[in-house]
Amino acid sequence: MAASEAVRERTKRKIKVSPAKKKLIVVFAFSMTLFVVLVANLFIVSVCNGPEYAEMAQKQWTLNTSLRAQRGEIIDRAGNVLASSYTTYQVCVNPQAIDADDRERVAYLLSTILELDYDSVLTKVSNTNRQQIKIEDQVEKEVVELLSSYQFEDGVSYYSDVKRSYREGQLFAQLLGFTNVDGVGQTGLELTYNTELAGVDGRQIVETDRDNNPIPDGRQEYVEPIAGNDLILTVDTGLQGYLEAALEQAATINNAKTVQGILMNPKTGEILAIATYPTFDPNNPPRTDATQLLELSKNRLVTDTYEPGSTFKIITLAAALDSGTVTLANTFSCRGSLTVRGQRIKCWRSAGHGTQSLTEAAENSCNCAFMSMALSMGTDLFYEYIYKFGFDTATGSGLMGETSGTVTHRKYITDTDLARIGFGQSISTTGMQLIAAASAAINGGYLMQPYIVDRIVDIDGNVVTDYEPVVVRQVISEQTSAQLRQILQSVVDNGSGKNARIAGYTVGGKTGTAQKYEEDGSVSSTRLIASFIGFAPADDPQYICLIIVDEPQVPVVYGSTVAAPFVQLVLQNALAYSGVTPNSAGDSRVVPDLTNLSVEQALAALDEEDLEAIYMESEQTAFVVRQSPPAGTIVVSGSPVIIYTAWTTFQAEDQEIEYVSMPDIIGMTRFNAYDALKKVGLVMEYDPLLSQGTVSSTQYAEGERIPVGSTVWVGFTYVPDD
């Protein structure tokens, strides 16, 4: 027992630690912990965050400059440059190289000359944590020269930049689109072909000292930028000018919401000119108003859909002829309406067209005849042609935002729907789809894919991509196409398309007017789209043109006068421009200026030029405020000229118009006359200063048939107060 206690005593003596040793152990443990923390921190700094710190260090002793690639040009078919880039400059400040007492001067000069906010510039100039800060992009050379004269020394740097220039201004605005300040395409072809045009940016890296000066023996790296490719388009600047001038005239004369137009080669699908009015200047787009910019930037021929109205009768006629449903020998009877499944559908002419041949039905644009054709074909056969002509499918034109229109599935189509489709209702299309389909109808029967880019070439002129005409399919036979050309020429020679006639040339075409819909889905009686599609020469078409006038806001007598004269103007200029030989000498006349003349005087002026007048007989004492075609237009002898006066009432061709009889209001007081007119759907207009007494005269005679909603001018006996 005593031995074991002795052993335990010796063990206690062996493991006893002195205070000095304890302190040493604590210090050692703390040192080891600190060492581990330092090693861990070093690992985090060097391994985990190493790349980030290396990049920060690199920025402190290197100047890394992006070298923007030269953006490719956009060129028309004749070699005219439409969009190009030129050298401007990027202005940067180097805060570390600017003395503290000079910062306000530098900020003041930069903000004043560059028209920038002073406080914002001063903040950048004073930010010494940054080696270099960008102040402004795309500064013109003259401005940089002015800045350089103030001797900022190393405090301000200038680097080459590029700016996009559209040499034709507003011409081609929706087609070309525009870029942002960084040279990236935002709309139009600039956006669609941005990758091809942009190229690849380069880079320059230079080692610098603390004052941002290059080190003589420092590392330098230079990656050369790769220039973008050029787009060679199918459009022609001369033809585009003719089209845009015609659209502006159409918009002005008709006081329209928008007007769209396209000129195309019907044999190849090449788009020769395309535009929408109103337009804008892509050099200075209204960027501060996003809504306005979006509306002005739309290429409405591909983005907007509408019911084509009677222009679609070209397709109905082509399908009926090609399928053998009708022949040129067929006749049609029109009594002013057709009852389909118990529903009465009116022809635009309430009195009817009587018995007529197929060609006469086309000349008259008879709704009943085209309803009969559609019903005779039946849904399946008619729909087969509708799809073959390309409706319900985007054309693949290469233009931004193209939509496909709407064709209701055949399983939902009733006979009444089918009848309405026959004359262009209950179906929607884009202008691009319609002109492509009409081209197929008159070019021999081949649906061509519209295209806008002819080829893409690199900076050395090597062809990168070459685009050729693409035949989508043959829709109708060449024989049927020849018959259509003959019928559509007769529409212009003898029918509703007379305003498209051109002296010395044969022209074919079709007019159309379609109603729009209100926000509640109801059919509008006042908001219309009038259009005309024409081609020339009729026997061998070189050009086809479609103009769409959206919501004309002036009194209109016939829908064909809203668009047809302007298609005639475009085709006439195009034929002369390209040197197409006339078919005959022709008998041309120049439309005189009729504005501010009385109707009687205007009739005499037109008679001298052997031109017809379209006007309301009750308006002979009124004065002309507008005319169509406009003064100076060259037309064929005998062509109609529409006369607008302040009294002219609205009438649209190819529309269902409800008429009322003018009531007898002579001798009534103003209030009684107002009530009598309102009761039948007419609006009274009068001079408030001469409205005493009783009605003494009216614009229309008692019993005269007037469209519902018309304004009636009323005169009163004037009995002044005593």
Active-site positions?
Answer: 310
Strand-strand pairing, 258-264 and 543-550: antiparallel
Of the candidates 556, 514, 522, which has an alpha carbon nearest to the alpha carbon of residue 710? 556
What gap in Å lies between CA 445 and CA 314, rounded to an integer? 12
String of DSSP letters for 583-631: SS---EEEPPP-TTSBHHHHHHHHHHTT-EEE--GGGTTSBEEEEESPT
Q: Are 503 and 588 in contact (CB under 8 A)?
A: yes
Q: Are 71 and 198 in contact (CB under 8 A)?
A: yes
What gap in Å lies between CA 423 and CA 344, rounded to an integer? 15
| CA distances from residue 424 to 274, 385, 419 in whole angstroms, order as listed | 23, 14, 9
Residue with tokens 């329209």: 256
The dihedrals phi and psi of 166, each to the nearest 5 degrees, come to -110, 100
What gap in Å lies between CA 492 and CA 571, rounded to an integer? 13
* Alpha carbon 126 to its chain's center: 46
Side-chain-side CA neighbours of 30 within 13 Å: the count stands at: 6
Angle between the 560-578 and 237-254 helix axes, to the nearest 10 degrees? 160
Task: Supply the Cα-derived Rg of the chain in whole angstroms.
Answer: 38
Helix, strand, coil fractions of the chain, as percent rounded to 5: 35, 25, 35
| E-assigned strand segments in 117-257 | 133-139, 156-166, 202-207, 220-223, 230-233
- In this structure, which amino acid lies at residue 721? D
| E-assigned strand segments in 119-155 | 133-139
Q: Are 300 and 546 in contact (CB under 8 A)?
A: no
Cα angle, residue 548 at apex, residues 553 and 398 outer, rounded to 5°: 140
What gap in Å lies between CA 193 and CA 238, rounded to an integer? 24
What gap in Å lies between CA 667 and CA 684, rounded to an integer? 15
Query: Which neighbouring-strand residues pair with 91?
Result: 136, 158
**List of residues 6+ apart from 2 with CB closer than 8 A:** none
